[in-house]
Chain A
Amino acid sequence: MMRLSFSVFRKELRDHLRDHRSVLTSLMWPLIGPVVFLVMFNMLASWYRQDRPLQLPVVGREHAPSLMAFLERYGAKLEEAPENYEERIRAGSLDAVLVVPDDYAESYSAGHTAEVQLVVDSSRQSARQSVMRARRLLEAYSQMLGNQRLYARGVVPELAMPVRVAETDLSTPERTAAGMLNTVPLFLVIAAFAGGMQVASDTMAGERERGSLEPLLLNPVPRSAVVTGKWLSTLAMAVAAVVMTLVGYLLVVQRVPLEDLGVKARFDAPAALGMAAAVLPLALAASAVQVWVSTYARSFKEAQTYLSLLMFVPMLPGMVLALSPLQPKLWMFFVPVFGQELLAGEVMRGEPLGVLPFLITAASSVVVTVLALAVTTRLLTRERIVFGRG
């Protein structure tokens, strides 16, 4: 029985690997994740880069020399604003421009509130950091002057500040990184589905459409051995896709300026192994369900349609988890697909987990696998399935 399954497995894999086009299709999916990741991280990093000095063009520098001196002392690089600064802010080539009106010195000397304008485009994400820094510097200057005025009148500045807000950032560097890395489990699980999709549709629906299923079943081989062999070849491709995705992420993470974002990601070899342990058992179940669906489909095309729809099963919970990670409870690990995505996410965040969640998710995958394979074996004894349905 094992030897027969292996014969089927070897033939299917050889047959599939000679179909270069569909092999490329299967392996394209696993590469999408790491590539998206690389691009996104580099973009984020360029937005948030902290070491860049604040560039602040100013209109009317001469009206406020002491403010200019203060800004320069705190690291801002000041320059004359160009004529068309509003346009350029809208176009995104300038982040913010400071406008000091003509009457600034007058209001200031009179002890009134002097006004300066910070011209920004609040819809531009990339300008947010610069705008915030400029605003903080201006507020600090204002507060400093205010304190001096209170002192001059013999008042303790604390009187004017009944409450002070102190922020404590509880997120550890690993947690912040995980915020970005949350899409990784989703892509790993998608790889477990995408890798075997082509073989699965060819090995059952394709076999029947080609007219080679009938002769195949004429061999003195138990149906279960045929199903097992075909499932194993699907599984092999799924495992290859998951491993490729993981390796892709490992390579990409080393080339991404994570430090610029002020985060230290836990994406090293042990974490990768942990994620493999979380996701690979799911490949068993995904492949088994795919072989079942492919056997049930009326035609090759129908099988491909169903299998593409099946890919949405991991996408929905995966997106939810990527957008709003939730506190895992033990029962969640029992849910196939969802459990694996949750578990991979926890591994990546560096949470101490213990063995139990791994065992639970693996067990739920095995149950689904055994069920799907048993149903497929039964389907193959039906004449309508073997000879096709009109």
Chain B
Amino acid sequence: MIEARNLHKRFGKKVTAVEDVSFVAEDGIITGLLGPNGAGKTTTMRMLYTLVRPDRGTALVDGVDVVQRPEDARRALGVLPDARGLYPRLTAREHARYYGELHGLSGAQLDKRVDELLDLLDMREIADRRTEGFSQGERVKVAMARALVHGPRNVLLDEPTNGLDVMSTRAVRTLLRRLKDEGRCVVFSSHVMQEVAALCDRIVVVAHGRVVADGTPDALRERTGKDSLEEAFVATIGTDQGLMQ
């Protein structure tokens, strides 16, 4: 479970990236962080996964404070961050193994875990190829494999389907549903309405660094009095930016 409490972050004196963001992401459901570009989604995510220190407020990952105990929080998190660069001279399997080692796995346990992941992500064929020249879809799979190698209870994904074709997008969706069915807490951010509508049990709409709506898709429609989620979104943030892919 992830709990954001009044997160606030400024860069320099003038730019306020995140004004005040609070929400709770429960286990066993998919929570979507939806908002137009520049709404503060990435900064919020970075505060959740401990690489950016909030100026005010904090977040709890399974009850662990990300500001007080960042290393313990990272142990409970699997993250697909905004930057998902790979090492072109290492194979897909070596990527997963490296991150596994950094999570303290070793020996037979590590081998088993890496094999499971390669099966789960359907990447047996590319497992022992160097990642140089991988397609976008293959690259995301590698990034997923290394993010999930330690079997985290909570999964954070920053715009996971950005730049992917239809098949790869479907594969990512299937994976997220599977993680949800396993009872994990899944949070992903997106600026694409359809993406969020297709997957989420719960939507947190962020605009100008604040949470402007928070609830199930049905609740969101009800609150704004609009029939379609799309209309509801526009009514909530007051602009149609982010509706197009």
B85 touching A212, Cβ below 8 Å: yes
B85 touching A217, Cβ below 8 Å: no
Q: What per-residue 1/0 map shows which CB atoms of B38-71 lie under 8 Å from chain A?
A: 0000000000011111000000000000000001
A215 touching B71, Cβ below 8 Å: no
B89 touching A15, Cβ below 8 Å: yes
Q: What per-residue 1/0 map shows which CB atoms of A10-35 lie under 8 Å from chain B?
A: 01001100110000000000000000
Q: Which range holds the interface residue count of chain A? A: 20 to 34
- Min CB distance B66 to A, Å, is 12
Cβ of A4 within 8 Å of any chain B Cβ, yes or no, is yes
* Chain B residue contacts of A207, Cβ below 8 A: 85
B74 touching A215, Cβ below 8 Å: no
- Min CB distance B78 to A, Å, is 9
Known: A7-B98, A215-B143. A220 touches B89 (CB 8 A): no
The segment from B99-107, B118-126, B202-210 that touches chain A is B99-107
Cβ of A386 within 8 Å of any chain B Cβ, yes or no, is yes
Tell me the B17-35 residues at the A interface (CB within 8 Å): none
CA distance A218 to B84 in the complex (A): 11
Contact among A11, A215, A383 with B147 in the assembled complex (CB-CB below 8 Å): A215
Q: What per-residue 1/0 map shows which CB atoms of A192-229 lie under 8 Å from chain B?
A: 00000000000000010011111111111110000000
Known: A218-B74, A220-B71. A14 touches B86 (CB 8 A): no
- Min CB distance B150 to A, Å, is 9
CA distance A215 to B145 in the complex (A): 12
CA distance A212 to B86 in the complex (A): 6
B83 touching A211, Cβ below 8 Å: yes
* Chain B residue contacts of A387, Cβ below 8 A: 51, 83
A215 touching B89, Cβ below 8 Å: no
A7 touching B90, Cβ below 8 Å: no
B79 touching A215, Cβ below 8 Å: yes
CA distance A386 to B53 in the complex (A): 12
Known: A11-B90, A18-B89. A220 touches B84 (CB 8 A): no
CA distance A373 to B149 in the complex (A): 29
Known: A18-B89, A213-B83. A218 touches B77 (CB 8 A): yes
Cβ of B191 within 8 Å of any chain A Cβ, yes or no, is no
CA distance A171 to B245 in the complex (A): 82
Cβ of B218 within 8 Å of any chain A Cβ, yes or no, is no
- Min CB distance B32 to A, Å, is 21
* Chain B residue contacts of A211, Cβ below 8 A: 83-85
CA distance A204 to B72 in the complex (A): 24
Known: A219-B103, A222-B71. A383 touches B81 (CB 8 A): no
CA distance A215 to B84 in the complex (A): 7
B87 touching A210, Cβ below 8 Å: yes
Interface residues of chain A, those whose CB is within 8 Å of chain B, are 4, 7-8, 11, 14-15, 18-19, 207, 210-222, 383, 386-387
Q: List 16 A-B contacts (CB under 8 A).
A: A4-B101, A7-B102, A15-B89, A19-B89, A212-B85, A212-B86, A214-B81, A215-B81, A215-B83, A215-B99, A216-B102, A218-B49, A218-B79, A221-B71, A221-B102, A387-B83
Known: A4-B101, A14-B90, A221-B102. 7 other contacts (CB 8 A): A210-B86, A215-B79, A216-B102, A218-B79, A220-B103, A383-B51, A383-B52
